Amino acid sequence: MLADAVKPLGLTLKLWWRFWPQLVAIVLLGIVFGDLFMQVAARTAFLNHMAGLALLTLVALTQLIVTVAMFQTLLPALPATRAAQQAAHDESSGEARGGSARLARMVTVALLPFFAYYAAWGFLGDTVRQYSRVALDMAPFGESAGNVLDVLDSRWLVFSVAISWLVRRFATTMQKRGGARSFWQIVVVICETNWIFIGLYVISRWKDEILGWIMSRNLFSVLQATADGMANPVPRAFAEPMVPVEVTSIDTTTKLIGLFFFMLLPVIWLVLAALIYGYDVRDDKELMRVHQRVERLGERYRAIPKFLRDFAEHFISGYRSRYLPIANGVRITLSSGVVLIVTLIVGYRLIDWLAAWAWLGMTRLIGPHDLDTWQVLSEGVSLLFGSPFQDSSTGILVEPLRICFLAAILETAFALPTRQTDDGAQLSDPKGRVEAHNV
């Protein structure tokens, strides 16, 4: 059991030692380009607020490409993951693809889940906030040109999404005609990113507004009071006395919710990693095996008349092939055993924790200086360890380690003996035979 927990850690260090120059170089390129695009977006915003927001997409896209490229760099050292990819690839007998087209496709696959994660964790807000800060810095003193976010509330936003939809359509047509395919692929990716980015941000704003509206009704407070009363019936029965803040405690529900989200982030990152590697593992047979009910659903779907299936397929096939890997990734993650999941959560948080302490230790080591000097020094420290105070900043010592750790966990999950024997013993196992028959 201990060996299961230690194995990914050893593999992490091995991966890091083998690939650190490439990984650090990719992180550095990401930082330079992210900064560059942020400046370009802010400068463009002064000409046109909408264009600035559209260019901001590139900042988020850079982060995704950096993540995908880092995982892709590690692939040669992950035999079990590659074997799984190869097996799925043979089964689906898809056409062989070149390196850059492959990267573009992987970026496309990871686009929506990555941005969903990005928005859910508030990084989208961080990026938008950073952008508005840069624009405010550039705005001449006393002029209102710095308020670049007013477009988010305007109807022209729909117009911008429509433009990117048209550009995307044009690009796909050009792609079909042939000639500079990878260029058009990139255009398609950027357009898709654009509307996902803008769409998600707008939805998250609307969500706040809707919540605000609900909160302002009396109905909600009645519901909340009822829920509170049910959760903690006894303490609510008495009038609460004044309690000094030192003796107050956080109630169990809040603690559990906090713990859940604390544990969720590493798991989400593992799913993203599985998604990036799992692009080729788009085999719905594996997924169907998960559960009898899903299996039956699959059977029923096949029983539908073909013309109806074609009609449905026309709309969902693209998304089905795209998001099957997610479902597969989740399945692999959850079936890889408690020890591995705990190792993932603890290890991931340990890296975060160590990075934060390294940041603090470094500041103690450097010692006190005046504010302007410290501003310069802190940029150096943050470049190494990432800043706990800046919005989604990545350090060149921490980020490669984090990616190596995630890849190591995934590799261990793919290499687990239970999984291998599962696949191998399917035909000899009576249950397995039934499954094979059904599929």
Partner 1 sequence: MTAQDLVQQSGLGERKWRRRSLWALLLLIPLTFAVEVYDSIKALLADNDLFARRVAWGQSVHFGGSDWKLTDLRGAFGMANLPPDSVPVLADFSVKVGDPDLQKLWLGCKVMLIDAAGRRWAPTSAVTLKAPGDVQTCTSAIFSGAKSGDTLNLRETFLVPKDVTKTIRPAVGLASERPHFLLFQLEKD
Q: Which residues bind partner 1 (CB under 8 A)?
A: 19, 21-22, 24-25, 28-29, 31-32, 35-36, 76, 370, 372-373, 375-376, 379-380, 382-383, 396
- In total, the chain counts a number of residues equal to 439
Question: Least separation, in Å, of the C-beta of 28 and partner 1?
Answer: 4
Task: Say what the alpha-carbon torsion angle 63, 67, 276, 82 is, to the nearest 10 degrees.
Answer: 160
Q: Smaller CB distance to partner 1: residue 317 or 375?
A: 375
Task: Say what the alpha-carbon torsion angle 45, 48, 50, 56 is, to the nearest 10 degrees.
Answer: -30
Q: Smaller CB distance to partner 1: residue 10 or 79?
A: 79
Query: Cα–Cα distances in Å, from 79 out to 34, 332, 337, 413?
Result: 32, 16, 20, 12
Q: What phi-psi label fits residue 177: left (phi over 0), alpha (psi between -120 and 50 degrees) or beta?
A: alpha
Q: Smaller CB distance to partner 1: residue 208 or 379?
A: 379
Question: Least separation, in Å, of the C-beta of 19 and partner 1?
Answer: 8
Question: Least separation, in Å, of the C-beta of 375 and partner 1?
Answer: 4
Question: Least separation, in Å, of the C-beta of 206 and partner 1?
Answer: 34
Question: Least separation, in Å, of the C-beta of 376 and partner 1?
Answer: 5
Given a contact cutoff of 8 angstroms between Cβ atoms, the answer to whether 56 and 197 are in contact is yes
DSSP designation for 289: T
Question: Least separation, in Å, of the C-beta of 133 and partner 1?
Answer: 11
Q: What angle do CA 185, 187, 193 make, to 5 degrees?
A: 105
Q: How far apart are the first and last CA of the chain?
A: 34
Q: Smaller CB distance to partner 1: residue 50 or 70?
A: 70
Q: Smaller CB distance to partner 1: residue 44 or 394?
A: 394
Q: Smaller CB distance to partner 1: residue 20 or 323?
A: 20
Distance CA 341, CA 339 (A): 6
DSSP designation for 328: H
Question: Least separation, in Å, of the C-beta of 384 and partner 1?
Answer: 10
Q: Alpha helices of 232-251 — where are they, by DSSP H?
A: 233-237
Distance CA 228, CA 96 (A): 58
Q: Smaller CB distance to partner 1: residue 75 or 354?
A: 75
